[in-house]
Amino acid sequence: MIQRFSLQPASFTPESSKEMVLLSIIAQSFFQPFSLDDNLLVILTALTSGTGVGFNRALLFLKEGERLQARMWLGPRSPEEAQAIWSILSTPGIGYAEIVEHNRELVDRTMEALQPKLRFLNYNLDVPDLKIPALAARNQEIVLVKEAKKERLVDDNFREFVDVDSFLCLPLVAKNELMGEIVVDNGITRAPITAKDIDLASLCGLLAGNYIYTTHLYKKVLEMEKMAALGEMAAFVSHQLRNPIVAIGGFTRQLLNRPCDLEKCQRNLSIIQQETKHLEEIIFKISHFLKISIKELKPIDVRPIILSLLERPDLKAKAESKRLVLRLNDQLPKILCDQVYFEEAMVNLLDNALDVTPAGGHVYLRVFPANNKWLRLTIKDSGPGLDEKTQEKIFTPFFTTKEKGIGLGLLFVKRVMEMCAGKIEVQSKPGHGTLFKLYFKAIEEKGAS
């Protein structure tokens, strides 16, 4: 006798085991080309579905730089809504796509009202007196909190938001690196959180951490592919065009140095010379970009470098009708980088900021220790700002918002930051300017207390 079965169960019943439901719901995500948000949403679904793990509500935090930020909330507002959700999930033939679509609609309905509250659930992971839930994330340990209203280690904003006496913190970790955190509770049924619940929830946490990690890894692979394509294109352009363009520029300059009575000829030749010079500059910038190579990171003192940059004639000329405001701490740690590339990266950012800032506007440059591990440098302009789509593209090769730009300046800055083991972040909004945050690893001075 031969019996045939589907690779995945077509449906579930209330009698299905929690383990079976959990495994099947999550397994389907491996076969679907959904986004990271959708895959994380299905994890939250597995944690909150009726006979899945069975928690009532779940809150997702993601690690952004050195901060932990609340990003997604999934949970019913009443026992009736909880039952309705499970009824949908147990419908015969329902699959991963239907689960994601249903919960996406649920999240969309609730997130608009919750968004202002979630902004306050933002924690700096580097502060010494960190509280739960961020403390559990930083320590990378699962924490079950009981009698939360009496527990002093629980953050007040978080306690007020969840309004429950018991909740479970699940750090999302991959390769010993913190990716985020999920906090679950039984705020509707008030059911106790059991040891079995914790075991099953921990599996969801491991999967979620690896979803985030592999997504970041995939983005890095795409970035490497872009850089490889850029290298091939730049090599081709340099090889095919450099010699003829330089020759045209040389002959043009010779002609311009000779007496010429034809005014029109003079004008046309001047235009040719200007365009040739522009093309020469493009090729130089592409070649220079491809040659970025830091053989050895060395300790550098950024204070005198920053002060000297502000005296550069080109930057002073651009800042003539604008105000460049500098805030520089007296005591700054040294950083590991390359001085030449550091200077060029700063010039790029300041040059861009001055370009977009209108006459009478301000450019703010601030350098200070973010904590004992990082030195933070910020540059804020008074320009038109960037929308979300533009922000996603600003580090893409050859993408530019300038009329005569070639789109390598910010990519150059990003590469320098990566080679110096630093980080760069961008915050911008149309009509409110753009803020660049650069983080450099600080060097602890020997003998410092």
The tens digit of pLDDT for each residue in 82-129 reads 677 666 666 666 655 666 677 777 777 777 777 788 888 999 999 989
Q: Looking at 233, 265, 290, which one is the last position of a domain? A: 290
Say yes or no: 41 and 178 in one domain: yes
pLDDT category at 197 given cuts 50, 70, 90 is confident
- Global confidence as pTM: 0.55
**Does 268 share its domain with 368?**
no
Structurally, the chain folds into a number of domains equal to 3
- Cis peptide upstream of residue 133 (ω within 30 degrees of 0): yes
**What phi and psi values does residue 112 have, to the nearest 5 degrees?**
-60, -40
Residue 87: domain span: 18-217
Q: Are residues 272 and 386 in the same domain?
A: no
Convert the pLDDT of each residue in 299-309 to its tens digit: 999 999 999 98
The pLDDT value recorded for residue 39 is 74
Which residues make beta-bridge pairs with 424? 438
Examine the domain organization and report whether 213 and 225 are in the same domain: no
| Any domain includes 448 | no
CATH number of 436's domain: 3.30.565.10
Work out the end-to-end distance of the chain between its first and last CA atoms, rounded to an integer number of angstroms.
78
Q: What is the mean pLDDT of the chain?
A: 80
Same-domain status, 272 and 390: no
Q: How far apart (Å, rounded) are the C-alpha atoms in residues 146 and 154? A: 10
- Per-residue pLDDT, averaged over 219-229, amounts to 76
